[in-house]
């Protein structure tokens, strides 16, 4: 029931019986063609309800149409609260059909439930929708997942998702307004409806995701992310995917599958927003877990890796994650990379073939549980990737990496497009304390690394 209808259904306690009867005539279509109104005090609290039967009984004893309606109200009335379970509501309907007021904690009316229009499905639709999408780490194959890379050949990336997340919360509104709040950016935005969205700020990715889904009606949407964009963990893709996940939950039988969501997330970032990059982030974050993602001109296929639990635990025990340098514009770096040394097929083909070979070797090492060999291969992949473009690394990244290797790290790589972000290192626990202390002196920060196997998760909770 909308706010205008609720306003009509509420009458002040000093209104005369005559005026209340006139109001009942106009509100009958709202209340199952029954005379039924809520009587409120000066603070808007419900003092009672009144029906046409209550008025007839009052007039039979005191035939005064100018008396205040307060004389006729029923103070012992049936009502429910806004968070009442459906089984409670049904039992109250058994005793008091057809109209039941919904009151807030201060006994102010907020809705009226009419039996013929009450739907358990409708009440379930008033729930909060949340979608959580993890960050990803790319072990090998990064920089080979753009459309041009696999136009005439096959490429692949080896990825995993970790325990850093972007969570989006959606709450439907009774109007068409769209309200966006980013907790980590401390930014908010509001529009009258979908067509009124205006681009030009740091929330444009969120707006683009909303436009791509074309939702009906208004909603409040809130984003909270552990993943700073531009740090090599697929942060922007996690934001887009989590927004799409929430909105997709509104589509019922028409909801998109994971592959379709990944494709739509790519469209939002790479095509609608013109952010350069490949396809791996969208697929890795949405599917989740350890994956082998293959790219070809015909298709993109995600193959989950069935790793032994002790392999995953040993990886967590040996991998270290460090925040190095500032966030960077990965799209800009990738644009530069593709406009310089890798611009011709003749130059790029040896790199693509070599990287695919390394990626296959790393996948084989993981599947067989050869984690030490995996650490050695990380170093080979990093050395190969650094040859792709001068902005892949930076003096600080090189200093951190070389220092860690001199202490005992087997290998590692900078995650993402290059220059700064997160540095992944593989080192035995016997060297980790010394590596951590040495790198902290260079101004970097170590982050806990644990793997996540769930990918995108969407759920509903009561308001």
What positions carry a catalytic annotation?
281
Residues 6 or more apart whose CB falls under 8 angstroms from that of 299 comprise none
Residues 6 or more apart whose CB falls under 8 angstroms from that of 308 comprise 369
- Contact in structure between 214 and 244 (CB atoms under 8 Å): no
Distance CA 285, CA 233 (A): 9
Residues 6 or more apart whose CB falls under 8 angstroms from that of 54 comprise 72, 73, 74
| Residue 293 CA neighbour count, 13 Å, CB half | 33
E strand or H helix at 367: helix 345-367
- Give me the sign of the Cα torsion angle 118, 122, 123, 124: positive
Helices 280-287 and 258-266 pack at an angle, to 10 degrees, of 150
Nearest to 180 by CA among 135, 233, 242: 242
User: Which residue spans within 296-450 are E strands per DSSP?
Assistant: 300-304, 319-324, 411-414, 421-426, 445-447
Distance CA 153, CA 353 (A): 9
β-strand partners of 64: none
Say if residue 98 is preceded by a cis peptide, omega within 30 of 0.
yes
β-strand partners of 10: 38
Pairing, β 80-81 against β 99-103: parallel
Ranges of H-type helices in 29-85: 52-61
Q: For residue 208, give both structure tokens.
A: 């683009």
Distance CA 164, CA 450 (A): 9
Q: Measure the CA angle with vertex 218, ends 192 and 108; round to 5°.
A: 100
Nearest to 142 by CA among 422, 405, 407: 422
DSSP character string of 8-20: HHEEETTSBHHHH
């Amino acid at each position: 029931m909308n706010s205008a209808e609720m306003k009509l259904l509420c009458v002040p306690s000093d209104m005369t019986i005559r005026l209340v009867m006139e109001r009942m005539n106009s509100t009958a279509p709202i209340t199952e063609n029954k005379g039924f109104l809520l009587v409120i005090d000066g603070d808007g609290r419900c003092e009672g309800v009144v029906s046409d039967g209550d008025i007839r009984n009052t007039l039979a004893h005191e035939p005064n149409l100018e008396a205040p309606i307060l004389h006729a109200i029923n103070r012992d009335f049936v009502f429910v609260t806004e968070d009442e379970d459906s089984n409670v509501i049904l039992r109250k309907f058994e005793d008091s059909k057809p109209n039941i007021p919904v009151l807030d904690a201060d006994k102010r009316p907020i809705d009226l439930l009419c039996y013929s229009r009450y739907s358990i499905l409708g009440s379930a639709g008033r729930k909060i929708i949340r979608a959580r999408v993890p960050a990803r780490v790319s072990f090998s194959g990064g920089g080979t997942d753009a459309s041009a890379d696999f136009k005439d050949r096959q490429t692949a990336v080896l990825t995993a998702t970790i325990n850093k997340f972007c969570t989006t919360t959606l709450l439907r509104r009774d109007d068409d307004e769209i309200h966006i709040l980013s907790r980590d950016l401390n930014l908010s935005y509001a529009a009258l409806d979908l067509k009124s969205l205006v681009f030009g700020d740091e929330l444009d990715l969120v707006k683009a995701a909303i436009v791509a889904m074309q939702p009906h009606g208004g909603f409040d949407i809130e984003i909270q992310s552990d993943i700073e964009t531009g740090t090599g963990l697929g942060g922007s893709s996690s934001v887009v995917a989590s927004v799409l996940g929430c909105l997709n939950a509104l589509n019922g039988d028409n909801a998109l599958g994971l592959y379709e969501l990944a494709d739509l997330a790519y469209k939002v970032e790479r095509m609608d927003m013109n952010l350069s990059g490949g396809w791996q982030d969208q697929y890795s974050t949405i599917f989740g877990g350890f994956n082998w993602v293959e790219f070809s001109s015909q298709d993109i296929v995600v193959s989950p890796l069935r790793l032994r639990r002790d392999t995953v635990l040993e990886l967590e025990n040996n991998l270290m994650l460090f925040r190095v340098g500032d966030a960077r514009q990965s799209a800009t770096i990738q644009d530069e990379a593709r406009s310089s040394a890798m611009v011709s097929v003749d130059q790029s083909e040896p790199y693509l073939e070599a990287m695919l070979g390394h990626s296959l070797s790393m996948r084989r090492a993981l599947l067989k549980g050869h984690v030490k060999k995996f650490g050695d291969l990380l170093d080979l992949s990093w050395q190969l990737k650094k040859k792709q473009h001068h902005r892949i690394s930076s003096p600080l990244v090189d200093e951190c990496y070389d220092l860690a290797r001199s202490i005992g790290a087997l290998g590692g790589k900078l995650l993402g497009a290059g220059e700064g972000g997160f540095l992944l290192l593989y080192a035995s626990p016997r060297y980790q304390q010394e590596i951590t202390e040495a790198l902290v002196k260079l101004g970097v920060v170590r982050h806990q690394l644990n793997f996540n196997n769930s990918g995108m998760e969407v759920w509903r909770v009561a308001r």
